[in-house]
Amino acid sequence: MRGTNDEVRYPTSFKGCVCDVLGMGISNRPLIDLLLADGAIVRVRDKKTPDALGEDAGSLAKRGVTFVSGEGYLDRLDGDYIFRSPGIRPDLPQIRAAEKNGSVLTCEMEQFLARCPCPVIGITGSDGKTTTTTVTHLLLAAEAQRRQNGQKIYLGGNIGTPLLPRLAEMKPDDFAVAELSSFQLQRMAYGVSRAVITNITPNHLNWHTDMEEYTDAKKQIYRTEPCNMLVTNRDNPVCASLAAVCTVPLTLFSSTKDNYADITAGMPEGCCAVFIRDGYLWHSDGQTETKIIPVSAIRLPGRHNVENYMAAIGVTWGLVSCESIDTVARTFAGVPHRLEFIRKLNGVTYYNSSIDSTPTRTAAALHALQEKPIVICGGYDKHIPFAPLAEVLCERAKAVVLTGATADAIMSALRECPAYREDCLPVFREDTFGAAVARARAIATDGDTVLLSPACASFDAFRNFEERGDTFRRLVMAFTE
């Protein structure tokens, strides 16, 4: 039962409360409108000045919002509630001091979860979470359409659509599906109903203090009430280790083990499994096995996308029919920037996988393609090791074009890789992204594939991976014969 502390943390109204909103980003902008409508006293704190924030800041100022900007934007932080943007660490000295003095540190997603009238499925992971989130949403929506029951399925979170502003329209019989990042999950005190962890590999180590902190943030998705289900990856060592001591009902998926006994060995009793056998996806609860769909029905290429489907099926099991699963699998062609086909020109095929911001994502993309592609790699440095990337490039790439802040680090990893041979894997270095794309085109011949799969974040040259992918698409579409 929720007590006084939770009544303070999750108030029914923010009327008269001083609310410090840290950063005017995608998730916080609609939050500001909500707080103003609720009668809160809103202060936006952002390193950017109001002028740099644009006309929107001016309109907010006219509505009574005050701005604290510049390097000292966190000075004298003392609001009743502090709404943290996902990218701001919760342990900054100014935030710790404010909490010590009675401020409540929270975020848009936490307030949504505490108020949401319907079940929420939360999905996180180092790779695959956006596709898994999208497929989960599509499965539930297809089932609602099949049943014609009026149920609405809401999609949001880290996928880019804030859910909090849509609370008023949600009903108890609806569902919300939210993609959650480690940044959002860290310090989250209210949970989802069902949780998915697609995998955990080194990522965002430029932000998290170490791998342990990163993993702990991911675990938060199922450690907080009211979570009553975890779906995770039996083949991923970190996920398998956390599953072995999991205390909530558990479903494991595996693309390498084809039976319930092998998947659940060493795991808590009563767990379920999703796996591949004889070309089909199966679900088992230890007593009953259900043949779901043929793997060939899934339009998305690559084993990693089959795993994304297994995760989505696991978390929606009992909520959707095999008929709905089959419908989605045969019709869903994918999310932009994820092995997205751009065009074929002069016999060369171009794919945009700008979302690939880690070596594991690039490895998955390379294994999804039948042919060895010319790969464009490099970008912002998240301080993750590139030795695994070098190994897969040596195995699966025809040539590599490096660019961005990590180009030298990737080149060093290639030279140190025992499998690397300069005469077998040509490597090129370009100073700009545009030059890298032009180089890839120049060395490609009839029958080749050019793949943008950076294995790094985009922030060294772009606002986000979408802008990077859009730039690649624009450059490729501008090519003429």
What is the residue extent of each domain of the chain? 12-106, 111-331, 340-477
In sign, the C-alpha dihedral spanning 452, 458, 462, 466 is positive
Pick the CATH number of 12-106 from 1.10.1740.10, 3.50.50.60, 3.40.50.720, 1.10.260.40: 3.40.50.720
If you search the block for the tokens 């009675």, which residue do you land on?
Answer: 102
- Residue pair 167/115 in contact by the 8 Å Cβ criterion: yes
Output the tens digit of pLDDT for each of the chain's 481 residues. Answer: 233 467 788 998 999 999 999 988 766 888 999 999 999 999 999 998 888 888 888 899 999 999 999 999 999 999 999 999 887 889 999 999 999 999 999 999 999 999 999 999 999 998 899 999 999 999 999 999 999 999 999 999 988 678 988 999 999 999 999 999 888 898 888 999 999 999 998 766 666 668 888 898 899 999 999 999 999 999 999 999 999 999 999 999 999 999 999 999 999 999 999 999 999 999 999 999 999 999 999 999 889 999 999 999 999 999 999 999 999 999 998 888 988 989 999 999 999 999 999 898 899 899 888 789 999 999 999 888 899 999 999 999 999 999 999 999 999 999 999 999 999 999 999 999 999 999 999 999 999 999 999 999 999 999 999 999 999 999 999 999 8
pLDDT at 206: 67
Amino acid at 390: A
Alpha helix (H) residue ranges in 245-321: 260-264, 303-316
In whole angstroms, what is the distance from residue 86 CA to residue 321 CA? 35
Predicted local distance difference test score (pLDDT) of residue 162: 82
The two beta strands, 374-377 and 340-345, are: unpaired
Q: What are the residues whose beta carbons fall under 8 Å from the beta carbon of 222, sequence distance 6 or more?
A: 191, 195, 197, 230, 246, 248
What is the per-residue burial (b if ≥16 Cβ within 10 Å, else e) of 421-459?
eeeebebbbbeebeebbebbbeebeeebbbbbbbbbbbb
What pLDDT, on the 0 to 100 scale, is given for residue 444?
A: 98
Q: Which three-class secondary structure state does DSSP give residue 36?
A: helix
What rounded mean pLDDT belongs to the chain?
A: 93
Fold annotation for 111-331: UDP-N-acetylmuramoyl-L-alanine:D-glutamate ligase (3.40.1190)
pLDDT of amino acid 3: 35
Tokens coding 110: 């936490």
Angle of helix 303-316 relative to helix 359-368, nearest 10 degrees, comes to 110
pLDDT at 402: 98
**CATH no. for 340-477:** 3.90.190.20
The pLDDT assigned to 4 comes to 41
pTM of the model: 0.80
Q: What pLDDT is stored for residue 207 in this prediction?
A: 61
Residues 6+ apart with CB under 8 A from 387: 413, 416, 417
Q: How far apart are CA 304 and CA 297, in angstroms?
A: 15
201-204: Cβ within 8 A, 24+ apart: 201/126, 201/127, 201/236, 201/238, 201/358, 201/360, 202/126, 202/358, 202/384, 202/385, 203/126, 203/357, 203/358, 203/382, 203/384, 204/382
